[in-house]
Structure 1
Amino acid sequence: MNSADDQLKPAPGALQRAFTIIRALAHAPAEGARVTRIAKEAGLTQATAHRILQSLADEGIVEQDGNSKLYRLGIDFFALAAQASNPSGLRTLCRPAMLRLCASLGDTIFLLVRSGFDAVCLDMCEGPFPIRSFTGDIGGRVALGVGQGSLAILAFLPEAEREEIIHFNVPRLRGYGVLDEVYLRTEIERVRQVGYAGSNSGVLEGMAGAAVPILDRSGVAVAALSVGTLASRLTPERLPTVVELLKRQADAIGPRTNPFDVALRRTAQRPPIAPIAPIAPNGDGIGR
């Protein structure tokens, strides 16, 4: 007679098959894969692969896009990996660099990360000048393409993802009055050529910003370091120095980023289109 512990053990090979599915998903495209492809790569029947995927989805290890029906590794998988591999996360990793930049430049420094079709302010170090931004305080978000930081991220995403975001976000950008698809594509190309986003965009009078992407080991933007300041302080003569300091810190951070950090995890579900409030005529803010 089997003991109680024996009865609780998974069926022979069940764990191996589950990890085979997980490994197949790890090598799948960023948008995910269909069950037929996963089954083939895992060497399983489609029915078996589907059953295991559903079990993993129940545990949050796998998620399925509601529109495309593609499967991909879930947020809980990356959260567990992040806790095991790098409990401090991106914010702690970048904090010393942000403090150094804030002290050296005397301006406000922002750390932005991508969240679906938006950029989110993960951290900031306030300088002495009273400024505001599109994202507001820590935790605020803005559509990718609006402001220097989110533009730096968008420009260095893989082409397919970049095109999807442009298509989805253009209607959201029109609330700002001066942003359209031609403008956005022109700015993206310029950022890709020079390696940074930096200017007074004209959207927010009297304010300016500069930002560089933080690139992971594959050269994909996972975040951005950004300076927000008065337009009078970001002169053409000073801009190269600001950009050089930002790049130096971003280059040091990039190789140290944890690919399993939950803060860098792309969301699988497309957010609803939300209207963007027009900027007030006095333009109190910056484009970070």
Structure 2
Amino acid sequence: MSGATTQEDEIKSGDEQGDAPGAGMLPRAFALVRALASHQASGARVTQLAKMVGLTQGTTHRILRALIVEGVVEQDERSKLYRLGVDFFALAAQAGNPGGMRMLCRPALLRLCASLGETIFLLAKSGFDAVCLDLCEGPFPIRSFTNDVGGRIALGVGQGSLAILAFLPEAEREEIIRFNVPRIRGHGVLDEVYLRTEIERVRQLGYAARNSGVLEGMAGVAVPILDRTGTAVAALSVGTLSSRLGDDRLPMVVELLKRQADSIGPLTNPFDVALKRRPAPGLGAALGA
């Protein structure tokens, strides 16, 4: 018998060696949930999911069966495709931040969408990323880095995440820059010098407006939502066609965004879990930064 071990063996041994039973399984289960979320419309096969998360098919199947028992995942009997289950979305709805950032900002998103005739995004910081908490769609078909509610992008990519990054405390900002620069090359960020130049410009102007050409024909502008200490907790962002955000219209759009952001900032709840400030301690090192 060879001494080689499979990833499934590693999961089992991790459960035996660690202080918390199932600790090895949990990150893999969440990885599968995220993979399924990215293929919710089409569904995904076990072979496809195993490749996406880097597990054996046997381990992937075993985790999927456990998630099905909990109602988090479902499998179509005919196609054998896996999708997130109804119970998952029910849990997500219950945890949808009632009384928090989404509810607080929803009227502002509706007002901005109606007055500007554009798609408006609400982004918040999540570790080293920005996540789309909410959006209000305008009449024009657009593409964005986060795509839809729940979409994520590394801080520094796109106007909304850049507006957040620029107004974080210096130590936190430096930590994120160090970790994210290798991640965001090819997303319109050339190098660390370029990113720092953009950050400084946003800090001077008070908003981020950039058409990097990465999303062809698209343009955007974003302003930070600052709490009582002047720290960015979120951002309001406009995504539109490049032809609709020329120099003649930009000042008006910025003014409307700032007006709404300024009214929201003092009302933000510092204990809102959607506004969790810093990455988890040691996360950068754990991820190989």
Q: TM-score, normalised by structure 1?
A: 0.63
Residue 265 of structure 2 corresponds to: 254
Residue 159 of structure 1 corresponds to: 170
CA distance, structure 1, for counterparts of residue 188 and residue 170 of structure 2? 26
Once the two structures are superposed, the pairs formed by residues 259-274 of structure 1 within 5 Å of their partners are 259-266=270-277, 267-269=279-281, 270=283
- Matched AA of 1:226: S
Once the two structures are superposed, the pairs formed by residues 175-254 of structure 1 within 5 Å of their partners are 175-176=186-187, 178-254=189-265
**Tell me, which stretches of 5 or more residues in structure 1 are unaligned?**
1-82, 275-288
User: Any conservation in 1 of the 2:121–2:135 contact (CA below 8 Å)?
Assistant: yes
Give, in angstroms, the shift of residue 176 of structure 1.
2.5
Cα distance change, pair 259–170 in 1 and its aligned pair in 2 (3 A) = same
Q: Deviations over 1:58-96 (max 9, x none)?
A: xxxxxxxxxxxxxxxxxxxxxxxxx9xx95110000000
Residue 118 of structure 2 corresponds to: 107
User: Any conservation in 2 of the 1:102–1:126 contact (CA below 8 Å)?
Assistant: yes
CA distance, structure 2, for counterparts of residue 241 and residue 128 of structure 1? 19
Once the two structures are superposed, the pairs formed by residues 88-107 of structure 1 within 5 Å of their partners are 88-107=99-118
Cα distance change, pair 177–210 in 1 and its aligned pair in 2 (3 A) = closer
SS at match of 1:175: coil
Compute the RMSD of aligned alpha carbons: 1.8
User: Any conservation in 1 of the 2:225–2:262 contact (CA below 8 Å)?
Assistant: yes
Q: Deviations over 1:230-278 (max 9, x none)?
A: 000000000000000000000000000000101001342526659xxxx
Give, in angstroms, the shift of residue 113 of structure 1.
0.2
- Matched AA of 1:181: E
Residue 50 of structure 1 corresponds to: none
User: Any conservation in 1 of the 2:131–2:153 contact (CA below 8 Å)?
Assistant: yes
- 2:183 corresponds, among 172, 185, 191, to 172
Q: Deviations over 1:164-210 (max 9, x none)?
A: 10000000011336531111111000000010001212222211000
CA distance, structure 2, for counterparts of residue 236 and residue 175 of structure 1? 26
User: Any conservation in 2 of the 1:178–1:203 contact (CA below 8 Å)?
Assistant: no
Cα distance change, pair 177–217 in 1 and its aligned pair in 2 (3 A) = closer
Cα distance change, pair 138–109 in 1 and its aligned pair in 2 (3 A) = same
Residue 131 of structure 1 corresponds to: 142
- Identical amino acids, percent of aligned pairs: 82
**Tell me, which stretches of 5 or more residues in structure 2 are unaligned?**
1-93
CA distance, structure 2, for counterparts of residue 90 and residue 179 of structure 1? 32
